[in-house]
Amino acid sequence: MKLIGKGFTAKVYKGSFKTTGGDDAPVAVKILNDDYTPLVNTAELVDELQVLSRVHHGNVVAYIGYTYINRTLHIVTEYMDGGSLHDYIRNEKTILNCQHIYSAFRNDKTKRIFQIFCLY
Gap between the Cα atoms of 26 and 37, Å rounded: 25
Q: What distances in angstroms separate CA 45 from CA 2, 67, 78, one per listed residue?
A: 25, 12, 19
Q: Is 30 annotated as a binding residue?
A: yes
Rounded (5°) CA angle 73-79-83 = 105
Q: Which residues are annotated as a binding site?
A: 30
Q: Which residues are annotated as a binding site for ATP?
A: 30
